[in-house]
Copies of this chain bind each other. A is one copy, B any other.
Amino acid sequence: MSDNAQTALAQRARHLDSEHLATDRRDAFVLPEGVIYLDGNSLGAMSVAARDATADAVTRQWGQQLIRAWNESAWWTAPERVGDRIASLVGAPSGSVVVGDSTTISLFKAVHAAARLRPDRRVVLTDPDSFPTDVHVTRGVCDQLGLTLELVSPRDAVARLEGSNDVALAAYSHVDYRTGELWDLAAITEAAHQVGALACWDLCHSAGVVDVGLTEGAADFAVGCGYKYLSGGPGAPAFLFVAPQHLAEFTNPILGWNGHAAPFAMSPDHVPADGITRARVGTPPVLGIAALEGALTAYEGLDMGDVRRRSLSLTGFFVECLDALGVDLPIVTPRDDRRGSQVSLRHPAAYAVVQALIARGVIGDFREPDIVRLGFAPLYLSHEDVLTAARHLRDVIDGAEFARPEHAARAAVT
Contacts and interface: CB of A to CB of B under 8 A. Distances in A.
Interface stretch (A137-145, A242-250, A296-304): A137-145
A389 to B, nearest CB: 15
Contact of A69 (B57, B234, B237): B234
Nearest to A254: B108
A139 B255 contact: yes
Chain A's interface size range is: 35 or more
Nearest to A112: B144
Contacts of A151: 268
Interface stretch (A59-67, A210-218, A323-331, A394-402): A59-67
A265 B51 contact: no
A101 interface: yes
B282 A285 contact: no
B46 A144 contact: no
A280 to B, nearest CB: 10
Given A105-B282, A151-B268, A42 B54 contact: no
B59 A51 contact: yes
A58 B62 contact: no
Interface string A19-61: 0000000000010100101010011011000110011011101
Interface of A: 30, 32, 35, 37, 39, 42-43, 45-46, 50-51, 54-55, 57-59, 61-64, 66-71, 75-76, 101-105, 108, 128, 130-133, 135-137, 139-140, 144, 151, 225, 227, 233-238, 253-258, 260, 263-268, 270, 281-289, 291, 358, 363, 365, 367-368, 411-414
